[in-house]
Amino acid sequence: MADNQAYNEEKAAKEKAIDDWLPITSSRNAKWWGPGVTVLILSWIITLYTLWQMVEMHEMVPGKRFDRYHELGQHAFGEKLGLWIVVPQQLVVEVGTCIVYMVTGGKSLKKLHESICHNCAPIKTTYFIMIFASVNFVLSHLPNFNSISVISLAAAVMSLSYSTIAWVASVKKGAQPDVDYGPRDKTTSGNVFNFFSALGDVAFAYAGHNVVLEIQATIPSTPEKPSKKPMWKGVVVAYIVVAICYFPVALFGYWAFGNRVEDNILVTLEKPKWLIAAANLFVVVHVIGSYQIYAMPVFDMLETWLVKKMNFSPSTALRFTTRTLYVDLHSAWSYFDDFSTHRWAKADNHFSQELSFLFIINFSRANNQMMKMKMMIKDADRVAQIDLVSSPSR
């Protein structure tokens, strides 16, 4: 009996040694790679398709543009029901996302401060949130999407910069000796919760549909040149850039650190200090632009309600008061919500969520200006002289 047991153990040891040597069975830790990559790609395709639907529906009724999300909801569900279905959900996403950006901006400023000033006395995150809020106090008074185009372009560039830093630094660091690609939790219930949480994170990363109609509303449209053409080109370019930017961060970050990677991969990296400090500075610039993108539809709702329903006169004073109070309430709420920000979103997902729409704004507007120039050149063939002065976008 003992001889049989010894024989079986020796046989099992030999089989294990062979399996460890063979390329397919040498590592059994990567069992989540397939489902993870599949979900990333499927989510990218599905959200791109639904975004195409949104772009097409902007002018699906001849002679009418659905410039706001709730207008499309009212068309689908009726005047009152459409408001109640769309507006609460849109506000939850936009207000919640602005809170996330407020806290993320403050935390990134704190990390930047700690990276460049090792011997300085520690400063509470609350104060850095106040500093970040003060910038948004000023920028929130810009009147519309067109006026923040430069800010959004800078934010998009910063997004590319710090995401590139994240995945390049991960590649340079390499797979850690104790890397584990298996489930993080040891219990079935914990793994189920983490699985659905991860699905939500991926879906959130490609989100932004709730502002796409408002962005498309800034593009001029004629029957010959509908706004959906430049808008769709902007969407395609944006999603390609997002894929180039987001997939390496997700894949290389997981490859390097496995299930020990933090929600914000910059926290996991830690070194080199100067590079992580630069990345956090890029994050700050990015979330400043992102905050303005998500706050603008809320400003529009508040000002529309005050002027059309409450009969306030449109004025600079009204806009100043409304927007200042909104940012002030956000910064105050952020102090209390600092500890629970990730209930709204994961910190490392915010770059891809807004990156796409920052690029949509700038690429669509640039494409629109190119279309204008082409029309002017065609007119020059028919007219002896033409004044090549581009009219401002609507």
Give per-residue pLDDT as tens, 99-126: 888 888 888 898 888 888 878 888 888 8
Q: Of 13-27, 48-62, 225-239, where does mean pLDDT reach its minimum?
A: 13-27
Which range of 21-35, 69-83, 161-175 scores highest in mean pLDDT? It is 69-83
- CATH class of the domain at 15-377: mainly alpha
Domain ranges for the chain: 15-377
Among 61-75, 300-314, 356-370, which is the least confidently predicted range?
356-370
Q: Which amino acid is at 102?
A: M
Task: Write down the mean pLDDT value for the chain.
Answer: 76
pLDDT of residue 334: 60
Reply yes or no on whether the pLDDT at 378 is more than 70.
Answer: no
pTM strictly above 0.85: no
For residue 307, what pLDDT is reported?
92
- What does the pLDDT read at residue 356? 42
pLDDT, tens digit, 9 for 90 and up, residues 361-377 = 444 444 443 343 333 33
Position 374 scores a pLDDT of: 38
pLDDT at 199: 79
The reported pLDDT for the residue numbered 272 is 73
Residue 52's pLDDT band (cuts 50, 70, 90): very high
* 226-283 pLDDT per residue, tens: 898 999 988 888 888 888 877 888 888 888 888 777 666 766 676 677 777 888 888 8
**pLDDT > 70 in the chain, percent:** 75
Which of 25-29, 205-209, 316-320 bottoms out in mean pLDDT, i.e. has the lowest? 25-29
Tell which wins on pLDDT, 345 or 93: 93
Pick the range with the lowest mean pLDDT from 30-34, 270-274, 287-291, 381-385. Answer: 381-385
Where residue 20 falls among pLDDT bands split at 50, 70, 90? low
